[in-house]
Amino acid sequence: MDAMSKRQPARKPPVRRRTPKPAIRTRKRYLAAVRAPFQRQFEFASDGRWFDLRAIFDRINARYFRNRLRDYTIGWGRRRRERPKITIVFGSIQEEDRVIRIHPLLDRQFVPPWYVEYVVFHEMLHAVVPDRYDSTGRRIIHHEGFLKRERRFRHYRRSREWEEENLGRFLR
């Protein structure tokens, strides 16, 4: 979920090799590929302090996707000591591994449940709406077709407004 992002937060470069200007999803794929699969399962939990992502996922899957998304893992991403400064990526999806990660900073009391649902919905939508490519071969993930479907989410407007008003609370 990087619709409002201008820049990704600073991250450690991959250990083994550097790829020039990797897109965030590509880089995540790379990192996932060098990790043993069993480690991934214990890396994150879905039940947070305030929100149970598994329950949210199941509800949205039933309501919006006719339970079409199968064998997905969803969980809170790792907590980091440093807070992001400029933008925050609230959610991400790795399609090969069927893993959805939600930013742990969303697991807080002041975050409305429907906003967490919106972030989860957005990532799930990536699983069913294919990316497009422009004439230069550049990948477009939030294309018109995607955005049109995204607007069908029940709390879409409210979520976008809340995001805009509250983004500063997640950044330093």
Site string for Zn ion, 78-117 (x = CB under 5 A): ----------------------------------------
Q: 121 with 60: CB under 8 angstroms?
A: yes
HSE (side-chain half, CA atoms, 13 Å) at 51: 28
Report d(CA 104, CA 114) in Å as an integer.
16
E strands in 63-109: 73-76, 91-94, 99-102
Least separation in angstroms between CB 67 and Zn ion: 21
Q: Token match 């980091």: residue?
A: 80
For Zn ion, the closer of residues 143 and 154 by Cβ is: 143
For Zn ion, the closer of residues 1 and 106 by Cβ is: 1
Least separation in angstroms between CB 38 and Zn ion: 28
| Residue whose Cβ sits closest to Zn ion | 1
Q: 126 with 141: CB under 8 angstroms?
A: yes
Report d(CA 56, CA 46) in Å as an integer.
10
Stretch that binds Zn ion, among 1-9, 53-61, 70-78, 82-90 (CB under 5 A): 1-9
Site string for Zn ion, 130-169 (x = CB under 5 A): ----------------------------------------
Report d(CA 134, CA 140) in Å as an integer.
7
Sort 90 into a burial class: Cβ within 10 Å, 0-12 / 13-18 / 19+. buried
For Zn ion, the closer of residues 16 and 138 by Cβ is: 138
For Zn ion, the closer of residues 47 and 131 by Cβ is: 131
Report d(CA 103, CA 95) in Å as an integer.
17
For Zn ion, the closer of residues 1 and 111 by Cβ is: 1
Least separation in angstroms between CB 2 and Zn ion: 6
Least separation in angstroms between CB 10 and Zn ion: 20
Least separation in angstroms between CB 87 and Zn ion: 13
Contacting residues toward Zn ion, per CB under 5 A: 1
